[in-house]
Amino acid sequence: MIHLENISFTYPKSSFSLAFSSLKVEAGTHVALIGPSGSGKSTLLNLLSGILLPAQGDIYIHEEKITGKTEAARRAFRLDKIGMIFQSFALLQYINVENNIMLPLLLDGQPITKALKERCRELLKSVGLEGMESRYPAQLSQGEQQRVAICRALINNPKVILADEPTGNLDHKNATSVLDLMLQQVRISGATLIMSTHDRSLFSKFDRVVDINELTRESI
């Protein structure tokens, strides 16, 4: 279970503020985070991942209190326990697909074992990129690159996946297929998914839709 309580956040030198009394997400659910541009979707995801720290309130991810951790500890937690997917600049251009997928492990100083390579191979196969381990990102289409990014988010078997408009740069057909692949993988791993999106046609694919405007209005 993911639990946020009495959150209040403001950026320095900015009038924007995000405040709400409570948000609970059951483990294993798939949540779409919606709201107009500038409403604070990315901000909320960054609070969940520990990139940002709220001025007030507590955030628990599966019993771990994120808000009580130091910056370094939040990074370590993120690297190990959370799968992150972004809208753009997903991959490093100078390492191949396999190493891009292994990146969280490489950055953690972990050795790349045979079992990990096998897992990487299976993940690639499941997103329809079988045998593309040694390609470089520049040799893939945008949709294919985003599918590699999904594999990277999944390599550690994280219990939480945070995705900030992962299909935002893709055309509708590609967006649907990438999302389907992502949901399929998340379902297999049993992880909780929180994904921000603008695309109304995708809402039906989620267990729950959270409108960030409603969330903050309730708490006033």
Partner 1 sequence: MKNWFYLASQYIRFYKTRSVLLLTCLSIITCLPVGLRTLISHYQNELENRAQSTPLILGIRGHRFDLTMSALYFRTSLERSTTMEELEKLNKTGLVKTYPMFVRQTSNHIPIVGTTIDYFDFRDLKPSSGTLPMLLGDAVLGARAAERLGLDAGSHIISDQTNLYNLASQYPLKMNVVGVLQANGTADDDAIFTDLKTTWTIEGLAHGHDDLAKKEQQQNILSRDENNLVANANLTPHIEITPENIASFHFHGNESDLPLTSVICVPKNLKSATIIKARYKLSKTAQLLSPESVISELLLLVFKVELLLHSSFLLVGAATAALLGLIVMLSIRLRKDEFNMLHAIGCSRKTVAGIITVEWIVIATVSLLVSTAIIMLVLYAAPNIGRLM
Ligand X SMILES: Nc1ncnc2c1ncn2[C@@H]1O[C@H](COP(=O)(O)OP(=O)(O)OP(=O)(O)O)[C@@H](O)[C@H]1O
Number of residues lying near partner 1 (CB under 8 A): 28
The CB-of-123 to Mg ion minimum distance in angstroms stands at 26
Alpha carbons 151 and 5: distance in angstroms, whole number: 31
Quick one: what does residue 90 bind among Mg ion, partner 1, ligand X, none, with the CB cut-off 5 to 8 Å set by partner type? partner 1
Report the 10 Å Cβ neighbour count for 115.
8
Burial 125-152 (b: 16+ CB within 10 A, else e): ebbebeebbebbbeebeebbbbbbbbbb
Alpha carbons 219 and 215: distance in angstroms, whole number: 7
> Residue 46 or 126: which CB sits closer to ligand X?
46
Q: For residue 117, report the phi and psi dihedrals to the nearest 5 degrees.
A: -60, -40
From residue 179 to residue 208, the character string flagging contacts with partner 1 as x (rule: CB under 8 A) and all else as - is: ------------------------------
From residue 62 to residue 81, the character string flagging contacts with partner 1 as x (rule: CB under 8 A) and all else as - is: ----------x-xxxxxxx-
- Position 43 contacts ligand X (CB under 6 A): yes
Burial classification of residue 56, based on how many CB atoms lie within 10 Å of its CB (0-12 exposed, 13-18 middle, 19 or more buried): exposed
Applying CB under 6 A, which residues contact ligand X? 11, 14, 16, 35, 37-43
Applying CB under 8 A, which residues contact partner 1? 49, 51, 72, 74-80, 82, 84, 86, 89-90, 92-95, 99, 103-104, 106-107, 109-110, 136, 152
